[in-house]
Amino acid sequence: MSTEAFSQPVRVAAEQFATAFHESMSLYTGDLSAAWAPGRVNLIGEHTDYNEGFVLPLAVDRVSAFAGRARADQTVRLWSTHFNHYAQFSLDGLPETFEAQREALPGWARYILGVATELARAGIPLQGFDAVVSGDVPLGGGMSSSAALEVATAQACALFSGGKFTIGAEDATLAPLQVAALCQRAEHIASGLKSGILDQAASCLGQPGKAVLLDCRSLAYRYLPFRAPEISLMVIDTGVRRELASSAYNERRQQCEDAVEILRGQIEQHEPENQQAREIKSLRDITQEQFDRYKQELPEILRKRAGYIIKENERVLQVVALLEKNDIEAVGAILWQGHAGLRDEYEVSCEELDALVEIAHQVPGVLGARMMGGGFGGCTVNLVRTEAVEVLSEAVMRQYPEQTGRQASIDICRAAGGPGSVTL
């Protein structure tokens, strides 16, 4: 099958396979095949996932992709088009051999090993393969390149397993959200980052023209329309790669857990008749009224962190109500509010992100903007009237370097479908 119908990363990976791996065909047991998974834009609901709250992401038309062939043994060999680097590991002995093999791999390949390890831990039969890895999800830019790579890895492992396991909605070995949870665990062991399930779920559940409301506790989800020709979704990359300092990210998570402990104690003490107090497990369970009543018992830093999360869950549900009425334009005002909370209360923004949001705020036709992703760098997401796209682009290209000494890059994204695979 021609690769012309596929996205650029799939084509690039397929075209480079013969050059990257030029062994005898007797080494392989199957046809050249490709698997991919999308990155995501999170419209609203930042840092709420690991607080068992609500998120509203959409998969986008940027993917991580594998193109390769199954092998007759348990070896996995990889060539990254982005890093121009080979990596190799063995499926034999996983998950026990994970730590020893991890240390010998470059960072990008550790995510792939992590997914294979979690599949093995789940008792899924695996088979070796050679593959070229490509992608156009900006690395470290807040569009979840790591989650796209992880979900694409799961698709590739299924593709090259010779039918030993399948991924899908019905009668499959793994359902989409099982894949998301498995890939979330893979990220934890590969990077040490205790991330929530938002990124992997968004990649697994993508549908064209749809955002998905996900309850990160129950994993219940439903789709909402997100398609308006007169409004564009712009992702603007700061060019800052302060890798989500695991320490700062994990610190936020711990602060939220500490706030829950104190607030639950206050509710139990002052509301002994409240039978639900003992069931409080996360900030998602604290109402705004309860928070307002007991927030003075929190140290200031915990008060700010918890206040942001509780408000952000409310913002997600406000946006859902607007999308149900197909009022995408009104969503913009809530994005400005979300950025202010991330900057002032959760304190995960940075000078460059704030500069992009402020530039956007000054351009007529920009409905709303906020930083996106874990923070400390990466991208902003902007809702923009289509006729204002060029004006905002010009403003960013002129003002951002003047203010920061950096160059920004701009992508126009669409809500796109989820992962897939094909024999080429």
Residue 397 domain-assigned? no
Rg (CA), the chain: 22
Report the domain count for the chain.
1
Give which of 94, 253, 395, 374 is closest to 382, Cα–Cα: 395
Residue 243: per-residue pLDDT: 62
Does the residue 174 lie in any domain?
yes
pLDDT of residue 4: 47
How confident is the model at residue 5, as a pLDDT? 45
Is 89 within the bounds of a domain?
yes
Please report whether residue 306 resides in a domain: no
The CATH number for 219's domain is 3.30.230.10
Residue 123 maps to a domain: yes
**Of residues 289, 235, 265, the one with CA closest to residue 411:** 235
In this prediction, residues 70-89 reach a mean pLDDT of 96
Mean pLDDT of 175-192: 95
User: Does 244 score more than 80 pLDDT?
Assistant: no
Predicted pLDDT at 1: 43
Alpha-carbon span 46 to 41, nearest angstrom = 11
Looking at the predicted structure, is the pLDDT value of residue 24 above 90? Answer: no
**Cβ contacts of 272 within 8 Å, gap of 6 or more:** none
Asked whether residue 349 carries a pLDDT value surpassing 70, the answer given is yes
238 inside domain: no
User: Average of pLDDT values for 108-131?
Assistant: 97
Type and span of the H or E element at 372: strand 366-372
The predicted model gives 109-133 an average pLDDT of: 97
pLDDT, position 141: 66
Average pLDDT over residues 220-226: 96
Q: Tell me the average pLDDT of the chain.
A: 93
B/e letters for 58-86, b = 16+ CB within 10 Å, e = fewer, are bbbbbbbbbbbbbbeeebbbbbbbeeeee
For residue 127, pLDDT beyond 70: yes
pLDDT at res. 177: 95
Kindly state whether residue 304 falls inside one of the protein's structural domains.
no
DSSP H helices, 282-383, are: 288-294, 300-324, 331-344, 351-361
171 in active site: no
* From 130, 199, 285, 354, active-site residue: 199
Is 335 part of any domain? no
pLDDT in tens, 266-294: 999 999 888 888 889 999 999 999 999 99
DSSP 140: T
Distance CA 264, CA 258 (A): 10
Q: What is the reported pLDDT for 245? A: 54
Q: What is the pLDDT of residue 327?
A: 92
Residue-number span of the structural domain to which 20 is assigned: 8-226+417-423
Residue 242 has pLDDT above 70, yes or no: no
pTM: 0.90
